[in-house]
Structures are given as C-alpha cells and as structure tokens.
Amino acid sequence: MREAKKISDSQITMTELVLPNHANQLGNLFGGQLMQWIDICAALSAAKHNERICVTASVDSIDFHHPIKLGDAVTLIATVNRVFNTSMEVGVNVFAQNFRKGTKVHTNTAYLTYVCVDNDGKPVQGIHAIPETDDEKRRYDEALIRRENRLKTRTK
C-alpha cells in the first residue's frame, strides 16, 4: 500500500436523477435519500483514496440551503480532505441541475468521517493525503479544526 496520495486522486463524482419515489408530496427530494447518496459518494472517495474498505464513523450536520426538485439531476462531488491515523474527513458538495431551466445550484455541503478497516473490520492506518491546490490546502487545514471540534463534543 502507498504511503501518500494526492487529494485530487480521491475525487468521486456521482449523478442521480430525482424520480417520483425520491420525492415528498411537495415534489422535493427526501432528505434521507440525499443523505444516502452523500454517504455512498463519500465512502467511494475514502475507499478510492485508501485502496480498501472505509466505514462511516460520523456525519457532521447537513444543511439544506435549497430544495432539490423532482426531475433535477443531483451531482455529488466527494473528496478526501485529510487523513489522520485510521480516520479521515471526506467533504461532499451537492449541486442540483434543472436542464429545462438551465440552472445549477449548490444545495448542500457535508463532512463525514470514515475509518479504514482491514478484512476483519479492524481499523488500520490510512494513506496520507497530499494537498496541492490552494483550495485543497484550505480544506486540509480546516479539516483539522473540524476534527478537534468533533473530538471535544464526543461522548466518552
């Protein structure tokens, strides 16, 4: 297994179409459906980066800035922000696109923590993430702050 990989190598882009079974009576995407898509996309990013299964340890709050409507294409972009020891933070940006109207809106940002595990489900060391761009370096630095806040609020 590698010692380090570029953050850009962890990016996963996933697109889903909001169908009637994904929407509530107002024609808006169910929040739980979006959370499932976020978790899948982030887990794929963590696994791609670490070349092994990674399991969800926690999900930070998910704020819904704009409704996602029936018929919208939802694009999720996940990237590993930083790897700590066995855990890592993955950030996911969500966009809703309406092709008929020609609109694309950033609807959500989510941060999730994953843990690298071996075939027996035991935590193992993750592959270090190397930030290259200014945005990656910012997200890398901010991930440490978010981690420290998570650890402060963790119940013992």
User: CA–CA separation, 47 vs 103, rounded Å?
Assistant: 32
Return the closest-CA partner of residue 114 out of 93, 88, 95: 88
Q: Mean of the pLDDT values across residues 109-118?
A: 97
Residue type, 58: S
pLDDT at 1: 60
Question: What does the angle CA 96 – CA 102 – CA 105 come to, to the nearest 5 degrees?
Answer: 30
Residue type, position 56, single letter: T
Q: Is residue 94 within 8 Å of residue 31, measured between CB atoms?
A: no
Domain boundaries, the chain: 4-153
**147-154 mean pLDDT:** 87
Q: Which CATH number fits domain 4-153: 3.10.129.10, 3.40.50.261, 3.40.50.970, 1.10.3720.10?
A: 3.10.129.10
pLDDT tens digit string along 91-113? Answer: 999 999 999 999 999 999 999 99
pLDDT above 70: percentage of residues in the chain: 98
**In 3D, which of 29, 28, 52 has the Cα closest to residue 114?**
52
The pLDDT value recorded for residue 154 is 76
pTM here?
A: 0.94
Task: Give 20-49 pLDDT, tens digit per residue.
Answer: 999 999 999 999 999 999 999 999 999 999
Average pLDDT over residues 74-91: 97
Q: Give kind and range of the element (H or E) at residue 42.
A: helix 31-50
